[in-house]
Chain A
């Protein structure tokens, strides 16, 4: 078990954003986290990455409790994410966005950095080279010097994934990567996600509203509604679950079906 959430709850004011939520993710799985708008999906990501601390419950990553760690330490354990509303370093170049994510790779200390020793320059150069490899992989290398804020929408999504991969995570959390993409771009994204899942030996949790993408790459789904788990299971099980249909299509559906 790579990731395990046990009875996790988080309230904002009087609203139970997530309540008594259990979820377990096996190594190398791709799990789809779906549910209507406002169901608490992004809150779950924020709880896993410690952006929010859970009010109760616990979160284990590779057997270790992580829900009390500060966010940067959670990331250090091997969890990387992308954001629903893209958060790139817009004023910096595409290359610098990935380079900054590699800040823990060099081994030089503060003193040798301040003295500008050759070892710092050498290590910085190898970081730039490594960053370029990630850009290559995402098909962004010809735009390396471009301002990240000026990238077209689809490419900024790719850059965010490149930046997350640069952290060499074990678990990758993708928050609506297909939002705003056209069908062609989604096909490209599907191949990209499947590719990195295979090549980087990743475990992936995917939040997505585009069911064509979810059904194409996620063998197992977890459905959230009003902060609680509605159901989980294979695509088949979820698609035929009346509670899911009701949550997505409204109460009348149950009547029509019945």
Chain B
């Protein structure tokens, strides 16, 4: 039971970080290969605050989010101001991710590559699920607000966006800071569930897992990436029965998604129960007519 709960908590944490990246990649159209760094910054900030300074969990999470958002400006301002094209920008974020990891490995307060053990376990199932719900709610509001409209305009056509008066630089930077803040929250939650963090947890592999979930879940969708993130955490766990084949199945699944749903599972759409209800009503309606 503890194992299943653990998988669900880690799925929720991953879903929060993925939602963050979905704002930046799925709604603003910018690719990042370094968002694990923001999880790391959130995780270390929160863990250090609760562990060494006895700060309350909620405040520590908020501090992790704010610190992650602030650090996103360090990479965001110079690269976005220079208008780096998408692939160059992705490489810059890759470098940023590595730089943060190396920094964490060499700072005293983070205890270097050995990692930070003995963090209090403060994240349980309700905390993780409530955090995910709040994240989804905030992200939805962001997307529906005029800030989200501007982001979508930039994603669709940056020049046309400028010509409807959108400040492209500021819009990208706002999206980046919001996405970094959510990744910071995810990192803080993760640290207080695993009770141990080390820089090696936040490598390019984790960044890739985030971007994979966003793209497979669907560009321009929130529910798609959330579902994909949860599936990608759970699937390898359940596939442990298949042992060495599980990574093959995982890879095959990604290839099939890209072939049959190139815009992602839920590209430009949101998951809704309406079609399901509609289908059910039709079937039950047909059942009644045939009965009468």
Contacts from A to B (Cβ < 8 Å):
49, 51, 70-72, 75-76, 80-81, 83, 87-92, 96, 99-101, 103-104, 106, 108, 110, 113-116, 120, 124, 163, 166-167
Contact = CB atoms under 8 A, between A and B. Distances in A.
Interface of B: 137-138, 140-142, 144-147, 149-150, 152-153, 156-157, 159-160, 162-168, 220, 268
Contacts of A167: 164-165
A89 B150 contact: no
- Of the candidates A89, A101, A103, A167, the one having the most CB atoms from chain B within 10 angstroms of its own CB is A103
A183 to B, nearest CB: 29
- Of the candidates B145, B147, B156, B168, the one having the most CB atoms from chain A within 10 angstroms of its own CB is B145
Contacts of B137: 116
A120 B145 contact: yes
A91 B166 contact: no
Contact of A71 (B141, B149, B162): B162
B31 to A, nearest CB: 17
A71 B145 contact: no
11 contacts: A72-B167, A88-B157, A92-B156, A101-B165, A103-B149, A104-B146, A104-B165, A113-B147, A124-B144, A163-B164, A167-B165
Given A87-B159, A116-B137, A99 B149 contact: yes
Nearest to B148: A113
A225 B286 CA distance: 71
A75 B146 contact: no
A99 B164 CA distance: 11
B173 to A, nearest CB: 13
Contacts of A72: 162, 165-168
B82 to A, nearest CB: 14
CB-CB nearest 6 A-B residue pairs = A113-B145, A89-B156, A75-B165, A87-B160, A116-B141, A71-B162
Contacts of A87: 157, 159-160, 163
Contact of B146 (A76, A88, A113, A115): A113
A7 B98 CA distance: 50
B67 to A, nearest CB: 19
A106 B268 CA distance: 24
B217 to A, nearest CB: 17
Contact of B156 (A51, A91, A124, A166): A91
Contact of B142 (A70, A89, A113, A163): A113
Given A72-B167, A75-B163, 14 more contacts: A49-B163, A72-B166, A88-B157, A89-B152, A89-B157, A91-B220, A92-B152, A100-B152, A100-B164, A104-B165, A110-B145, A114-B145, A120-B145, A167-B165
B261 to A, nearest CB: 15
A100 B138 contact: no
Nearest to A70: B167
B162 A75 contact: yes
A72 B153 CA distance: 13
Contacts of A88: 157, 160
A76 B165 contact: yes
Contacts of A113: 141-142, 145-147
Contacts of B147: 110, 113
B54 to A, nearest CB: 30
B215 to A, nearest CB: 15
Contacts of B167: 70, 72
A103 B147 CA distance: 8
Contacts of A90: 156
A91 B166 CA distance: 18
B165 A103 contact: yes
